[in-house]
Each structure stands twice: as structure tokens, then as C-alpha cells.
Amino acid sequence: MPFKPPPRLLGSLVCFLVAATSALAAPSAAARKAAAMEFTNTCSRCHNSDGSGYTGLPNFTDAKWQAAHPDAERRLIIRNGVPERMPPFGILLPAEEIDALLEYVRGLETRRPHPQEANALPIEPKLAAPGHGVEPVVLGHTGVYTQHNNNARVGANLSETTLTPANVNARQFGLLFHHVVDDQVFAQPLYVPNLAIAGGHHNVVFVASAANTVYAFDADREAPAYWQVNLGPPGSVQQHHFWCNDILGNMGIIGTPVIDPATQTLYVVALTHENDGWVQRLHALDILTGKDWAAGPAEITADGFDPIMQNQRPALLLSKGSVYVGYASHCDEEPYHGYLFRFDAATLRKLGSLNLSPGKVGNSIWQSGQGPAADENGTIFFVTSNGTWDGRDNLSDSFLKVSPDLHVLDWFTPTNYEELDKRDADLNSAGAMLLPGTHAVIGAGKQGIVYMINTENFGHLGDEHALQHFQGAKRQVNVGAVFWQSAARGGVVYLWGQDDALKAYAIKDGHFEPQALGVGAATSAYPGGILSLSANGDTNGIVWANAALAEHGGSHLNGAGVLRAYDANDVTQELWNSNLDPDHDSPGRISKNAPPTVVNGKVYLASFGTLPAGTGALYVYGLLPPRSEK
């Protein structure tokens, strides 16, 4: 059969080539809208949201580059492709949309940032002496054992008694210390309180890097790790050609691990490079020593599963004695499938696998790192990406309800799924969240549209089957929303889309009030705000956001990061942000999929470190010691 390029390749090729010097017929408003969506959803993955590009790719903000490449040259390359970079498929795009893309990218040159801003990358923060900010240690009682706090993925710690809207401010709150690690950290840090380790009891934070290294750090002070273990030489993008740079270097551990506190086991998947090939394994590590349990590790295999093409991006799920491992792709480079594997938590024996695009391609479980959700019965909920849709076995851009033994029980697909597939406008840039106290699951995608689905009747194809859908954000929402039941506001869902601001929406009678309760003042470039929430029950709520500095362009991979804190009862009130004192509090380059971990009076933030690849860190924020009076 003839080669059919994936939609993301199609969009990226056009974006790689577009920039024009000769006059074109004015595109229609519809074509301009489609072109802007194409650039936002696809092109910016390699060319940055401002068009400045990554290493080895053209800089669309450079007037000299634009002037040196006429339309005729670019159109020829669109038609014939770029050897070993992109296939020949430009003729599949409507001519008017190509014209609109040319026009759009020309505008990037005129809107390019000031040179100092364009080069303004974060540097290692100027830290005070080790131990700065460490107060007497309080052993915790609340843990964060999984991504976004629980299997419903609500992203809230409701047992936070130290941090309040009254004391999170520039005078009392800031960076305490940081732990440097060997590579970028994509995974959310996990936290075990009051662990019997190293001859005492300590609060311990666990960090996993893209170099396949897992660390167990003291959560309350800057000190060498209690243990660190490397799970083998990591796979990397340098070992296999991918057409875009979703990851710049090593990609050993990407998805957030999960911890079983009852058995003191940390489950994690590592991609290793061995004998000129690649292997993915599920490890079960003793959290006291870092050693593999005798049962593991278990190699992950299935028909059609290629360990280098499959990206273990979503967080792991531990439910009802099983560990679930989901898979996405690298920028839709084929062949790949969406997979969900099930393993016995005690033995690591594989109990089954679900291929979401059998005989086809696509339909990954991406969710920007959000793990599949699960209810109290072990029923699993997630959202799929673009790919293949036939209303039977292949359900792209859909909400799925799956039994614990991996049988699809129900599904919902929006009316415009064909357009979502065509435009790479994935429905699952954010994952599924089970809304507490309801029979509803919510999620949002690259279009910023929020869907609420009845968990007892998904309804299958058509927007009319959704309980509700509305434009919740200007652009794509990544990872997911968070929820809080506030004494003052009732049920509230918070989300933060790309190139948008933090928004709070009230839940009344099981439905969203479409008009936002409040909107924050700051905006964030890609990926928007990756959220967590802390509160003491229904009071003292704070929304925490791992965000990008909008003025720095919003790189998909390593732009400047900022940690922000908002009053959850009034998100128009920003309490604090790390850019108030960037020399001390800056978290370096943003870890694009990692929510802050907020527990026991501290905030733990993953970082990509100081360089485009090969550096990483864990930043720890909390209440500063009282300043001495002179």
C-alpha cells in the first residue's frame, strides 16, 4: 500500500519549509485559522511556539534565513521531501492552507523577541549554603505514592497543615535546597513519610531520571542520597532517528513510577540500550535499598510492540494488586500502537495487554504523562490520541472505560474526531480525571475543550452523548485538571492551558458552570500550567503550578520554568512565584510533564536542569527560617 505520512509529520514538514518572500493571494479566514492550529499543534514541537527552532532546524524569526529561501524552493521540498528527515507528502495539503502557513510564519519574523529575551535561558540558581531553610524535621503521615496523588488523578493533598495562603509569600517562602541528578527528570517526584531507613526514620523523596537512575533523597535536607541505582544504559534519541525533538537526549525513565507503601515497593519502567537493540523492563525496587525484588525485572513484550518506537510516557497505575503500564509514541512516528499492559504486582507476571490499534497504528495513551485513572472497583479510565477510528477495535481521540482485565467496556468519541485526527489535535493532551462525588470523568485536549462524560453510560459517537462540553481554555491543556471541595466555593476544577492563564470553574449539581469563577493574571507558554493543589481539608487551599515563563518563548523541551502559587478560593490572587527572586528561587528549565509534589510543608519540583539535555535536579521549596534582626 502507498505510504501515508502521519498528520504530525505532514504539519511539521510544511512548517519546516514555510517562509516566503513573494506575494501570495490572501488566504481565507478559515485557512488562516487552520494554519495557526497546524503550527500550534504540530510545528511548534520542533520549531518552538515563537518559531525560533531547535538545534539543526531553521529559525523562522531570522529575516536572513527567510530571505534566502524563496517560495519555489520550499514548495519543491514540500513535494519531494527531505532525505532521511521527512517524506514527500506536501501535495496532500490544500494549496490555500499552505499559503496561510507561509503568511503565518512570515509574521513570526516581525514578532520575534528581543535578542536578549530570545537567549534568556535559566542558569543554575545562586543557592545559599547547604541546609538553608531547614527547620526541625517533622515526620509526615501523608504520602504521595502515585502521579497526581491518587488513582482518581485529582491532584490534591488535603492533609497539608503547614502551608497556607497566609504564609506562602515572598518574605516567608522560597527555595530551601536542591538535589542535582544525572539527567532530565520527566517524572513527578514521589514521597514516603516516616520511612525506617539509614538507622532512623526519615521522610524520603524518590526521583527518577531519563538516564535510568532512581534516587532516594532525604526530603528535608540537602544531603547525599540514601541510595541511588542505575537500571542500565538508557535508550536515547541519538540512537534512533526521530523526526522531531519531543525528547532531546536520554529517554530511559519517562513515565512517573508508582509506590506500594504496604510492600515498600517502587515500580518503574526503564528503556535500556543493549547489544545494538532496545529493551523495556518493569522493575520492582525495594524502597529501602533500591534493589530489584527477586521476582523482577520483567521484560515488556507483545505482538507489534517495538521498544524503541513505544514511549512509556503515562504514569504507572497500581490498582487491585496489578501494575498497569501505558504507552504512547514519539511524535506519531510509525509504526506504533497505544498499549496498556497488566502485571501482577507480587510476581511481575504479565497478565495481559491491550493493543488499542490492532492491525492499524496510533491511538496512544499519551496524556502528557498523566496516568490512567481507576475507580474503587479497579475499572480503568483514559483518553486516546489521534490515529485510527473504526468504531470497534480502533478508537482514536476517545474516552475509554476498561475492565481490570483489559476489556473495553464503553467509549465516547466526539463528533469532530476526523478533524482531530487530521489536525493532530489530540483529545488526550490531558488525561482522564474521575470527579469526586459524581459519576463523571473529565478531560481536555489540544483544542482546550473540556468534556464531562457519564461513567455509567459513555454514549459512543457524538458530542450529544457528553454530559457537558465547553471551551475551558484557549489552547491545549496538558497533564490534567485538579479538583478541590472548598468550604467557601464548593466543588472547583482548576486548569491552565497553553498561552492562557489559570482558570477556576465551579461544579454545581454535577455540572460545570461555564463562566470561570476566576482567572489568574499570568499566562504561560507551552505547556501551560501543570497543576497540583494543597489544602487542609476544605480550607487553606493553594493551587501550585509548574509553568513556563511566557516571555521566554515557551520551548516544548527546555524553556525557563517558574513555580507559582495561587489562593485556591480566588485565583486572581497570586501568592508567590519563583521569579520574584530568580537568582535564588529559579527552578531552571521546566520539566514539561511533572506536577509539583506538595506534602508536609514542602513543594518538590522536578527540573530539566541548566542545559538542553543531560542535566536535571529536584528543587525543594518551603517556609524559610525567620530572618535575624540586626
Residue 183 lies in a domain: yes
Residue 628 lies in a domain: no
The total number of structural domains that make up the chain: 2
Chain mean position to CA 332: 16
Distances from the Cα of 349 to the Cαs of 310, 403, 597, in angstroms? 20, 18, 31
Question: In this predicted structure, what is the pLDDT of residue 369?
Answer: 96
Answer yes or no: do 195 and 271 share one domain.
yes
Residue 282 lies in a domain: yes
Question: In this predicted structure, what is the pLDDT of residue 135?
Answer: 61
Residue 339 lies in a domain: yes
Question: In this predicted structure, what is the pLDDT of residue 248?
Answer: 86
Mean pLDDT computed over 428-449 = 96
Mean pLDDT computed over 291-307 = 93
Domain boundary among 71, 95, 118: 118
Domain housing 15:
7-118
Question: In this predicted structure, what is the pLDDT of residue 153?
Answer: 98
Residue 150 lies in a domain: no
Question: What is the tens place of the pLDDT at every residue in 318-367?
Answer: 999 999 999 999 888 889 999 999 999 999 999 999 999 999 999 999 99
Domain boundary among 68, 100, 118: 118
431: pLDDT strictly greater than 80: yes
Answer yes or no: do 417 and 495 share one domain.
yes
Q: Percent of the chain having pLDDT more than 70?
A: 83
Mean pLDDT computed over 421-450 = 95
Answer yes or no: do 61 and 210 share one domain.
no
Least confident span in 69-78, 363-372, 576-585: 69-78
Q: What grid cell was written down for 501?
A: 492563564
Answer yes or no: do 57 and 186 share one domain.
no
Residue 630 lies in a domain: no
More confident position, 540 or 130? 540
More confident position, 77 or 219? 219
Least confident span in 259-263, 424-428, 543-547: 424-428
268 and 201 in contact (C-beta within 8 Å)? no
Answer yes or no: do 175 and 56 share one domain.
no
Question: In this predicted structure, what is the pLDDT of residue 218?
Answer: 97
Domain boundary among 99, 118, 137: 118
The chain-wide mean pLDDT, for the chain, equals 87
Residue 480 to residue 443: CA distance in whole angstroms: 7
CATH number assigned to the domain comprising residue 31: 1.10.760.10
112: pLDDT strictly greater than 90: no
115: pLDDT strictly greater than 50: no
Question: What is the tens place of the pLDDT at every residue in 594-617?
Answer: 999 999 999 999 999 988 789 999
Question: In this predicted structure, what is the pLDDT of residue 36?
Answer: 72
Please, how many CA atoms are within 13 Å of residue 477, restricted to the half-sphere of its CB?
Answer: 29
Question: In this predicted structure, what is the pLDDT of residue 41?
Answer: 53
Residue 2 lies in a domain: no
473 and 448 in contact (C-beta within 8 Å)? yes
Distances from the Cα of 199 to the Cαs of 195, 202, 292, in angstroms? 10, 9, 21
Least confident span in 410-419, 507-516, 549-558: 549-558
Answer yes or no: do 425 and 495 share one domain.
yes
Question: In this predicted structure, what is the pLDDT of residue 261?
Answer: 97
Give Dmax (Cα) for the chain: 79
Answer yes or no: do 240 and 93 share one domain.
no
Residue 196 lies in a domain: yes
Residue 294 to residue 283: CA distance in whole angstroms: 10
Question: In this predicted structure, what is the pLDDT of residue 55?
Answer: 45
Answer yes or no: do 22 and 164 share one domain.
no
Answer yes or no: do 532 and 418 share one domain.
yes
Q: How sure is the predictor about 626, in pLDDT bands with cuts at 50, 70 and 90?
A: confident
564 and 529 in contact (C-beta within 8 Å)? yes
More confident position, 468 or 91? 468
More confident position, 32 or 7? 32
Answer yes or no: do 93 and 160 share one domain.
no
Nearest to 203 by CA among 595, 534, 600: 600
Answer yes or no: do 542 and 473 share one domain.
yes
Question: In this predicted structure, what is the pLDDT of residue 342?
Answer: 98
278: pLDDT strictly greater than 90: yes
Could you give phi then psi for residue 117, rounded to 5 degrees? -70, -40
Chain mean position to CA 294: 32
Residue 208 to residue 192: CA distance in whole angstroms: 15
Amino acid at 371: G
CATH number assigned to the domain comprising residue 598: 2.140.10.10
Question: What is the tens place of the pLDDT at every residue in 462-511?
Answer: 999 999 999 999 999 999 999 999 999 999 999 999 999 999 999 999 99
5: pLDDT strictly greater than 70: no
Nearest to 424 by CA among 107, 43, 31, 18: 43
555 and 527 in contact (C-beta within 8 Å)? no
Answer yes or no: do 97 and 24 share one domain.
yes
The SS3 assignment for 24 reads coil
**Interior/surface letters 130-157, b for 16+ CB within 10 angstroms, e for the rest:** eeebbeeeeebeebbbbbbbbbbbbbbb
Highest mean pLDDT among 15-29, 111-125, 127-141, 594-608: 594-608
Nearest to 86 by CA among 156, 12, 164, 176: 12
The pTM for the full model equals 0.84
**Cα dihedral sign, 545-549-555-557:** negative
630: pLDDT strictly greater than 70: no
Peptide bond preceding 115 in cis form (omega within 30 of 0): no
Question: What is the tens place of the pLDDT at every residue in 173-225?
Answer: 999 999 999 999 999 999 999 999 999 999 999 999 999 999 999 999 999 99
555: pLDDT strictly greater than 60: no
